[in-house]
Structure 1
């Protein structure tokens, strides 16, 4: 049963990490037009227990994308400088949509793994009852 619980916890941690990743992607998309907004990114990290890998993952700390902000020409904007430009965001919608789709598919794969492990453990318990 240890392998089943390990599979369940690994897939559950994957689902949680992908859900957090999707949250960051949605925040990026929501702030596409926010002046001065830097895109948020986070990398996955392995979970260790006593120096050994558990097979679980977690989302690491949030980092701000260091790419340059886009310069937008709009002399009437309240944040425009004397040349008429202001800093936009560095969010690329195409990249964010691709990241969202990847996170969704990874979440679904972890959900299927979770469901398979649950079904196998239920089948094993049924066999043991006989």
Structure 2
């Protein structure tokens, strides 16, 4: 029964981490046109228990993408310098959509693992009742 509990905990932590990742992706998409905005990246850390990996993960620190911000020429923009350029955002919508699909698929895989563990524990309880 402890193995089922740990598999449910691992699946739940995976779903929580992927939900956080989707939140960062949605923030990136919402700020794609914000001047000077740096793309946020999610990091994951393994959960340790007494030096042993539990199979669970948790969201780590938010990492800002350090790629160079593009220089956009628009002399009429209020943030433009004396040469007419301002720093744009380093968010690429194609990458964000691909990351969102990957996070969604990972979330769904964890959800299936959670459901399988729940069904197995339910079946075990049914067997024990007989």
Unmatched 5+ stretches in structure 2 = none
d(CA) in 2 for partners of 1:93, 1:70:
14
**Aligned residue in 1 for 2:54:** 54
d(CA) in 2 for partners of 1:125, 1:6:
17
Partner SS for 1:128:
helix
d(CA) in 1 for partners of 2:42, 2:66:
13
Q: CA deviation at 1:55?
A: 0.8
Unmatched 5+ stretches in structure 1 = none
**Number of corresponding residues:** 130
Runs ≥4 in structure 1, deviation > 6 angstroms? none
TM superposition score normalised by structure 2: 0.98
1:23-44: CA deviations, max 9, x gaps?
0000000000000000011221
TM superposition score normalised by structure 1: 0.98
d(CA) in 2 for partners of 1:101, 1:74:
34
d(CA) in 2 for partners of 1:18, 1:126:
32
**Aligned residue in 2 for 1:4:** 4
Partner SS for 2:118:
helix
CA RMSD of aligned residues (A): 0.6
d(CA) in 2 for partners of 1:45, 1:104:
19
**Aligned residue in 1 for 2:45:** 45
Does 2:19 match 1:19?
yes
